[in-house]
Amino acid sequence: MTQFARRIGCLLALALLCSAARAQCPPGDVLFNTQAEVDNFAATFPDCEDVQGVLGIFGSVTDLSPLATIRSVADALTVVPNELTTATFAGLQSIGGNVLVVAPELSSLNFPALVSVDGDVVVTTSPELTSLTAPMLTSISGDLFFELASLTALNLANLASVESITTTGNSLTSFSLPALVSIEEFGVFNTSALVSIDLRQVTSLDTFALSNNASLSSIDLRNLTSAALIFVSSNPMLGTCCFLASALQSADPANVTIADNAPGCSSIEEVLRICVAMAVPAVGGLGLLIIASLLVLLALRFRLGYLAN
């Protein structure tokens, strides 16, 4: 190799090394308390993509757009600012730990590219938050909890798996998770505007709980076949609970509560009587007698179960 070629090779290697250094994030956690720190970070690490620890947003941070190059966070994402009104993590695709968002001035939280979270997601104490979107998110390995009084828009259209979902006191009119297949626990409590829930792909649950939802009248759980614990109470507009019929036939009576809903879903016996009858086509007298006998046996099974406990 000529001396000239060696010099060219050294220059190319140096250029690649410099480029790689610019693309790297600093080691460990990346924490911001002021907007100046965010801006300086973007200037110092303009191509930072993979944060090796925690990414934390605190204090007086007001603009996250300089962090658009970040595509992964190895540990937790913590967003606890005082003044931030819109949070968009434009390039973020994966989070390796828990997500915590507590932001009193935040009105919009967006993850347009996020695909996976390896931990829990908790969004709470953010009274101004009206919109939460993560349209590409497919999996949360832990729990999803949100308590957001002003929330009117939720987009988790591709979420397929999560350990549990719990929400209380939001302003959604529709809670739709059409891609969700794998979930262990689902609970919705204390809503005034929520009319419908769509969990059409879910086949089994460990826990299903609905309580104190003033406007809830429609639930799509058409494929549900089993639920270990069922609690459906104080939903005054909910009069159709046939989505529970299959699960009720195999459930432990001690773990089922259906009460104080609209007529049609006011008791276990009522749900079984209405829904099993609806599922059977017109039959003759003998068929009706068999159906009636089955209904009596099912109702008696639940009644005896409650007395035993």
Which distant-in-sequence residues (6+ apart) come within 8 Å of 243 by Cβ?
Answer: 219, 220, 221, 222, 224
pLDDT attached to residue 305:
54
Between CA 205 and CA 226 the distance in angstroms is 6
Instruction: Please determine, for residue 5, whether its predicted confidence score (pLDDT) is greater than 50.
Output: no
End-to-end CA distance of the chain: 88
Q: The tokens of 3 are what?
A: 């001396």
Instruction: Please determine, for residue 165, whether its predicted confidence score (pLDDT) is greater than 90.
Output: yes
**Per-residue pLDDT tens over the stretch 35-54:** 999 999 999 999 999 999 99
pLDDT attached to residue 296:
52
Instruction: Please determine, for residue 196, whether its predicted confidence score (pLDDT) is greater than 70.
Output: yes
Instruction: Please determine, for residue 7, whether its predicted confidence score (pLDDT) is greater than 90.
Output: no
Residue 168 bridge partners (DSSP): 189
Q: Has residue 4 been placed in a domain?
A: no
pLDDT attached to residue 164:
99
- The DSSP output letter for 222 is T
Q: Has residue 179 been placed in a domain?
A: yes
Q: Has residue 62 been placed in a domain?
A: no
Q: Has residue 58 been placed in a domain?
A: no
Q: The tokens of 205 are what?
A: 């649950």
| Pairing mode of beta strands 226-233, 174-176 | unpaired
**Per-residue pLDDT tens over the stretch 47-76:** 999 999 999 999 999 999 999 999 999 999
Instruction: Provide the domain limits for residue 227.
Output: 76-308
- Comparing 60-69, 91-100, 107-116, 280-289, the range with the smallest average pLDDT is 280-289
Structural domain count, the chain: 1
